[in-house]
Structure 1
Amino acid sequence: MKIAHFSDLHYSPERLDEADRCFGFAVDDAIARNARVAVVSGDSTDHRLDAHSPALGALARQIHRLAAAMPVIMLQGTFSHEPPGTLDIFALMGSTNEVFVADRIQQVAFGHGRFIASAGAVFSADELAHVIEMHPDAVFTCLPTINKGQFAASVGALAAATDLGDVLGTYLAASGSVNAQLREAAIATVGISHGTVVGCETEHGVTMAGFDHEFSLSALFDAQCSAFLLGHIHKHQSWESGGRRIAYPGSIGRFHYGEQGEKGYLLWEVDTDAASADLMPTPSRRMLCVDFDGSPDMERLAALAADSGDAFVRIRWQIDEEHRQSVDRAAIEAMFAHAPGVKIEPRILPIVRSRAQGISLETSVDAKLARWCELTDVASSPLLERLQMLETADASEIAEAVLAGLESPSGAAPLSLVVGAAADADVVEAQPSVSPSVDGSSPDWLEGDLFAA
């Protein structure tokens, strides 16, 4: 049986253009390739949508077109993307064929153009006998997103991370015993779920590792399904064992910068003992990302702008705080004015200053300065002398001392300033530490900081 598998459509006002262009193409392609059943494995929307939202209307039109050509199964996805009840309206959009909404754990048989759902999580013995007698085209084991909040409330937050995988593994093993009987009766078995497989890769190439993911590959293969159709991860990937296959189609379009691989939907060929899947690419938008470890290279950006065409562009660089104004952001934006979208993300590295240990424990400025000199291996006498000058004299007195130092003979003691006690006059003694240069030019130290160490 040929199945068109779509996932992670993420319809929303922000992503409407990309989602509708790609999903519309996929619907046309699946109809042209004569798919028998269509499956949407979760996250049809990106978040809660109002009934009058253009995004919801666009998604409804595409589902209606799809249902005119083939039966459709829509699985409940992540609650933050698809709040419970969001999919109920789509069950009313069937036209020539039915749209079945799988919002609970159940098994669903498809045969003679209609869906028959189990009363519980799996078909009971009586239900299974009836299903085998009717010999459907396929039986779907539906495992929508589990409310982790409710699960954590029932078993405790600490146990929820590992116990959820155990609970789902137990269910998949139980459904496997039913599916094994269906396969013996030459009925194709298909699993549908929305969640994370341990060891899968995100669209950015990051491997998912940890204990809080929903499935292991061994648990999914224990379900004894010829094909297991997954959603939630936006990168296409698959696994095979003995002819049986597990696969993510990835998101229908490219919604984030840095996503790897092609975007599309999967066209499955499923029979009793094996399954195969081919990725059918959609016209997803191009996204270019360029990172600089320092100031951006304007020549490189100019070359990129000339070749970017209709691509969305993200530019990143990192630069010290004191040099942040050296980057002409307006010029970069002007280079990519023709691009449908440009995202500029500078990272400013702050200047970090560390306090010298023990400075705050000193009670006077002199002591703090002496402590700093000790820790930084700087001679303290010249600095303490200049600090005394700043504390005891005004600007004119310091200037007179400097001028007097310039006129004094060389080889005298370092510059000093003593303020006398007389009320009517100050006694100033100043000796230059260096003599003027022979050629008449100013001494080098005049061009620097007079009071620097």
Structure 2
Amino acid sequence: MTQGKYAGNTVRVAQMTDLHYCATNLEESDRCFTAAVTDAIEKQVDCALITGDSTDHAMDAHSPAFVALAKQVQRLANHCPVLMLQGTFSHEPVGLLKVLSMVGAKFPIMIAEKISSFGLTKSKGFELIIPNNDYRLVCTAIPTLNKADIAAMTEDSVGAAAEEAGRIISDLLASLAPMNRALRLQGIASMVISHGTVMNCLTEHGVPMAGFDHEFTAGSLFSAGADAVALGHIHKHQSWESDTQGFRQTIAYGGSIGRFHYGEEDAKVWLEWHMTSGQASFVAYETPARRTIDIFFDGPPDMEKIRAAAAQCEGAFVRVRYEVDAEHKQSVDRNAIKAILGSALHIQIEGTTLAIERVRAKGISTEPSLVGKLEKWCEATGTKVGILPEMLTMIQNQDAQALVDSTMKRIMQQVMPVAEKPIETAAAEPAKLATAPVPIPKVDVKKETMSRGFFEDDLAIEDRTLF
């Protein structure tokens, strides 16, 4: 049971992450972050954590997207202390967040660019931890690790550098356990905040992140002995819990504040943590993220199916995907699709053209005769030559009527061979000829077929009797 003078002290912490402010995302990012900030203020949270990727890429400080971000961070800091974590370097170049620390507000906006521990005071907000100071909450920040630095120290392959990065972070997390245990004995809640990938977590599209090149495992995060681990980077909200150390530990991804890509699963949220030493918990509140709808076709678009889906597409972002052969590419009417889905807020049409595969017959261009070219084609395609050259010669040398006559004669010879007896003998015995069955011999279809593909190889004609 937790003891100490701070036992039972509960700190309400707002976690918002992966805001991805930029010109392209400005409307989505600002709508969702503004709503989350308003909600957090109304719920009277004690402090706020922004766990990385506040921006989507490098931006000028005077750009509309960065100004919009600064306004909302300032609004949040006028209500409570704010701690912002360095995210992925490609999203947040080093030093970009420092500009926000200069924004004037009631409480300081702290930026965590290096591994460090911050204490939440009762009146001053977050500060770098000082031993024996009076803190309500202690947060250890582990910003994005620069794997390039690890690779520079590792002589082996890139994969070895990634594994080395995982080992370094695992050792670091384990080293935090004594401090967090001491805090717990005093009744002070502790958190680890970081930005990275937990092995086997799920992406926003439901894909497991398997592999050994990720920064964290659930086990290594639990080994820190903190009450809670608040993570950014993966855009899907998900969590893990453990009671193995005699108290409840919780790990959670806040997920992205908005829906920035098609196909993202689940609602978008911000988290309100209830931090009590030994029993941390959270509540997820949904943000007004855009609604996306995918309409996929294995072949050309089915206009009737699109019409049937049009009603639910009103006000949504709609993506239509289809596949079509090259010769039918022009048959897809994109304007008609847009007209049907006219009530959608945004329509994105993605068509894939399937290339026609052609098999080249080596040497076919050098053959002087058409028969020779036919034989080369048969060789390239694996087709049995059979009577094809003979038939081709007939087509070349006979007119249409002669070709029909010779073909019919050939068929009659195969199906109804000439009787052994002379015609005059047959005439002398009309009654016998009229009643006697005429056998139809077996025909080797494979041998007589003009081209492979008209009949299956195992097809055979049975003996039958004509009456």
CA–CA separation in structure 2 for the residues paired with 1:2 and 1:303:
46
- In the alignment, what sits opposite 1:419? none
Q: Match of 1:239, SS?
A: strand
Identical-residue share of aligned pairs (%): 45
Match of 2:126 among 115, 130, 143: 115
Deviation per CA, 1:63-116: give whole Å up to 9, x if none: 000000000000000011101111001111141101000000111112132333
Distance 1:412 1:167, change over 3 A: closer
Match of 1:376 among 361, 380, 383: 383
2:211 corresponds to 1:200: no
- In the alignment, what sits opposite 1:425? none
Amino acid aligned to 2:367? S
Match of 1:46 among 45, 52, 56: 56
Contact 1:264 1:279 in 2 (8 A): yes
CA–CA separation in structure 2 for the residues paired with 1:71 and 1:107:
15
Contact 2:313 2:343 in 1 (8 A): no
Mean CA deviation greater in 97-106 or 150-159: 150-159
CA–CA separation in structure 1 for the residues paired with 2:403 and 2:159:
80
Q: Match of 2:97, SS?
A: helix
- In the alignment, what sits opposite 2:265? 260
CA–CA separation in structure 1 for the residues paired with 2:404 and 2:219:
92
- In the alignment, what sits opposite 1:122? none
CA–CA separation in structure 1 for the residues paired with 2:43 and 2:233:
25
Q: Match of 1:69, SS?
A: coil
- In the alignment, what sits opposite 1:147? 146
- In the alignment, what sits opposite 2:179? 178
Amino acid aligned to 2:125? R
2:12 corresponds to 1:13: no
Amino acid aligned to 1:378? V
Mean CA deviation greater in 141-150 or 193-202: 141-150
Distance 1:280 1:382, change over 3 A: same
Contact 1:7 1:252 in 2 (8 A): yes
- In the alignment, what sits opposite 1:31? 41
Deviation per CA, 1:14-71: give whole Å up to 9, x if none: 0100110110000000000010010000000011111221000000000000000000
Contact 2:363 2:376 in 1 (8 A): no
Contact 1:135 1:187 in 2 (8 A): no
Distance 1:274 1:370, change over 3 A: same
Distance 1:148 1:361, change over 3 A: farther
**What are the ranges of 5 or more consecutive residues in structure 1 without an aligned counterpart?**
119-126, 390-397, 415-451
Amino acid aligned to 2:317? F
Residues 23-422 of structure 1 aligned to structure 2 (within 5 Å): 23-112=33-122, 113-117=124-128, 127=130, 130=131, 133-156=132-155, 157-242=158-243, 243-356=248-361, 359-360=362-363, 364-366=367-369, 367=372, 369-374=374-379, 375-379=382-386, 380-382=388-390, 385=393, 402=399, 406=401, 410-411=405-406
Amino acid aligned to 1:41? T
CA–CA separation in structure 1 for the residues paired with 2:404 and 2:198:
85
Cα deviation, residue 407, structure 1: 7.2
Amino acid aligned to 2:256? S
Distance 1:315 1:408, change over 3 A: closer
Contact 1:320 1:351 in 2 (8 A): yes
CA–CA separation in structure 1 for the residues paired with 2:403 and 2:47:
101
- In the alignment, what sits opposite 1:442? none
CA–CA separation in structure 1 for the residues paired with 2:406 and 2:267:
79
Q: Match of 1:376, SS?
A: coil
Deviation per CA, 1:325-371: give whole Å up to 9, x if none: 22221100111233221110112211112335xx3499635555423
Contact 2:86 2:112 in 1 (8 A): yes
How many equivalent pairs are there? 389
Cα deviation, residue 410, structure 1: 4.1
Contact 1:370 1:384 in 2 (8 A): no
CA–CA separation in structure 2 for the residues paired with 1:153 and 1:361:
57
Q: Over aligned residues, Cα RMSD in angstroms?
A: 2.4
Q: Match of 1:189, SS?
A: strand
Deviation per CA, 1:125-181: give whole Å up to 9, x if none: xx5xx2xx3230111110000111222122142411211110000000111222111
Contact 2:314 2:345 in 1 (8 A): no
CA–CA separation in structure 2 for the residues paired with 1:386 and 1:149:
74
Cα deviation, residue 302, structure 1: 1.1
CA–CA separation in structure 2 for the residues paired with 1:97 and 1:332:
52
Amino acid aligned to 1:284? A
Q: Match of 1:218, SS?
A: helix
Q: Match of 2:165, SS?
A: helix
Contact 2:159 2:213 in 1 (8 A): no
Q: Match of 2:259, SS?
A: coil
CA–CA separation in structure 2 for the residues paired with 1:106 and 1:191:
10
Cα deviation, residue 412, structure 1: 9.6
Q: Match of 1:134, SS?
A: coil
CA–CA separation in structure 2 for the residues paired with 1:2 and 1:276:
10
- In the alignment, what sits opposite 2:439? none
Amino acid aligned to 1:147? N
Amino acid aligned to 1:340? L
**What are the ranges of 5 or more consecutive residues in structure 2 without an aligned counterpart?**
1-10, 410-449, 452-467
